[in-house]
Amino acid sequence: MELRNIAIVGAGVMGSGIAQVSAMSGYSVTLTDVSASQLDKAKRFINGGLGKLVQKGKLTPEKVDSILAQIKMNDRLDESVRDADLVVEAAFENLDLKQKIFKDLEKYCKSAAILGSNTSALPITEIASVTKSGNRLIGIHFMNPVPLMKGVEVIQGQLTSNETVETTLGYVRSLGKEPIIAIDYAGFIVSRLLDVLMNEVVKMVQEGNKPEDIDRAMELCAGHPMGPCKLLDLVGAEIAMHGMETMERDFGERYKPHPLLKKRVLAGLLGKKTGQGFYKYE
Ligand SMILES: NC(=O)c1ccc[n+]([C@@H]2O[C@H](COP(=O)([O-])OP(=O)(O)OC[C@H]3O[C@@H](n4cnc5c(N)ncnc54)[C@H](O)[C@@H]3O)[C@@H](O)[C@H]2O)c1
């Protein structure tokens, strides 16, 4: 199946990045969000991202204009996804919300369109269970920051057809990224391991360790490119908390989110998104 039009649902950190890399690879992109102000923010975010590539000599200013012209912003879901050959949903990490979005996508999309979710941890089969489109519903788990991270997990739900998988692998490769097949259990591969690490650092900070020391230890002693406190700030504390909750529900107690992680989410200390997590951001 040939892909030309990509629709992204949810214009937050991930949706903006997925829109940017899709447009850079020549796709016609529609980015939609329930919040019009979020669409403005996404526009600034994508402009900024492309501007950095110009500064590094990786893009010409003319190319930036043509990439931006390929991204349409629209706060109406029905209009945004009507012509899409492939949709990537990147709304909040909440099962009920995602199920509702996919029921709407079934109504508004072409019957052959691939329906992808960028969920970090929710099983694809569970999202698909309220739809009649399990054969074309698939996990396409991009990593943050999308323009920089090379790997993308692709998750085949119980009903996802092999054709959907093949087309999705082609889409991921066309973005210059490498797909990795992950089995459809809560957290897949990456969140199942990283959420546990990020939950643990919350306990370690409560025990008295400084975030700077934890990060330096893991960068200098374990060779991690980014320490886990910086990583939690980048990902967003709420994303890690929801991931842990999904895994606790499916695998039990050992994935319980630490009470302090929940408290930090309630207090709005999400990280870069809110300007403060373990560290402060402009
Ligand atoms: N942040 C990360 O590092 C990361 C990495 C990989 C995957 N993810 C996953 O990607 C998804 C998005 O995460 P994010 O960090 O970009 O979140 P975010 O909070 O930055 O953005 C989510 C956006 O979804 C929008 N939204 C909410 N309901 C909507 C609806 N019904 N229709 C359209 N838009 C709607 C919100 O207005 C918001 O702009 C989540 O499922 C998350 O688990 C996040």
Q: Which atom of ligand 1 is nearest to the CA of 32?
A: 33
Please name the residue whose Cα sits nearest to atom 39 of ligand 1: 12
Q: Which fold has domain 191-266?
A: N-(1-d-carboxylethyl)-l-norvaline Dehydrogenase; domain 2 (1.10.1040)
Three-class DSSP labels, the chain: CCCCEEEEECCCHHHHHHHHHHHHCCCEEEEECCCHHHHHHHHHHHHHHHHHHHHCCCCCHHHHHHHHHCEEEECCHHHHHCCCCEEEECCCCCHHHHHHHHHHHHHHCCCCCEEEECCCCCCHHHHHCCCCCHHHEEEEECCCCCCCCCEEEEEECCCCCHHHHHHHHHHHHHCCCEEEEECCCCCCCHHHHHHHHHHHHHHHHHCCCCHHHHHHHHHHCCCCCCCHHHHHHHHCHHHHHHHHHHHHHHHCHHHCCCHHHHHHHHCCCCECCCCECCCECC
pTM of the model: 0.97
The per-residue pLDDT for 31 is 98
> Which residues does a 6 A CB cutoff place in the pocket of ligand 1?
9-15, 32-35, 38, 90-93, 97, 101, 118-120, 141-144, 235-236, 239, 273
The per-residue pLDDT for 145 is 95
The per-residue pLDDT for 183 is 98
The per-residue pLDDT for 125 is 98
The per-residue pLDDT for 1 is 80
pLDDT in tens, the chain (282 residues): 899 999 999 999 999 999 999 999 999 999 999 999 999 999 999 999 999 999 999 999 999 999 999 999 999 999 999 999 999 999 999 999 999 999 999 999 999 999 999 999 999 999 999 999 999 999 999 999 999 999 999 999 999 999 999 999 999 999 999 999 999 999 999 999 999 999 999 999 999 999 999 999 999 999 999 999 999 999 999 999 999 999 999 999 999 999 999 999 999 999 999 999 999 998
Would you kindly state where each structural domain of the chain is located, as residue ranges? Answer: 5-182, 191-266
Please name the residue whose Cα sits nearest to atom 27 of ligand 1: 91
130 CA to centre of ligand 1 in angstroms: 20
Please name the residue whose Cα sits nearest to atom 8 of ligand 1: 120
Q: What CATH architecture is 5-182?
A: 3-Layer(aba) Sandwich (3.40)
Q: Which atom of ligand 1 is nearest to the CA of 242?
A: 43
